[in-house]
Amino acid sequence: MKRLTLLALALLLSACSLTSSSTKEPTPPLVGGDRDTHGCIPSAGYTWCEPKQKCMRAWEEACYSSAFEAIAWELAQRHGDSQEKISLTMEQQTETHARASVRFGPAGSPGGIVLASQKNGIWRIVFEGNGSVDCPALRADAFPQEMLVGICD
């Protein structure tokens, strides 16, 4: 009788373990268990900073030391030039928006305007050149009106 009870108990326990493992929901990935193409961990707040060539958190360290540096770097990347060949003059800047004039090459070379905005600690060029401007999009991006004088009058 004792053996029968032990056998029944063993069968019952093994049935419970089989049932619980087959109905278990998959566990979500651990925070920090993901990596992007650069090896950064987005779930921990890390993004790739190209100029510094490292993963970083925007609220701990700025990818660029200034809007000027960010815009000059992005222009160089877009045009396949070195930053030394780009003449950038910051005309207006707030904490989140910037307007600059740019020239490629020596004095007298063609140039245009650059409008950039900052979101989550990252500066991005929104418009560059001399062509037609999407004024409603710039206003939707909350560009200050004084930066749009002569562009979106």
- Look at residue 50 in the predicted model and tell me its pLDDT: 79
DSSP reduced 3-state for 34:
coil
Average pLDDT of 69-80? 87
- Look at residue 4 in the predicted model and tell me its pLDDT: 47
Contact by Cβ (8 Å): 114, 102: yes
CA-derived radius of gyration, the chain: 28
Give the whole-angstrom CA distance, residue 110 versus residue 83.
Answer: 16
- pLDDT of 92-135, one tens digit each? 999 999 999 998 877 777 789 999 998 877 788 999 988 888 99
Give the whole-angstrom CA distance, residue 102 versus residue 77.
Answer: 14
- pLDDT of 27-54, one tens digit each? 665 665 789 999 999 999 999 887 788 9
Instruction: Give residue 128's identity as a one-letter amino acid code.
Output: E
pLDDT at 7 over 60: no
Structure tokens at 20: 């619980």
- Look at residue 55 in the predicted model and tell me its pLDDT: 93
Calculate the average pLDDT of the chain: 81
- Look at residue 86 in the predicted model and tell me its pLDDT: 85
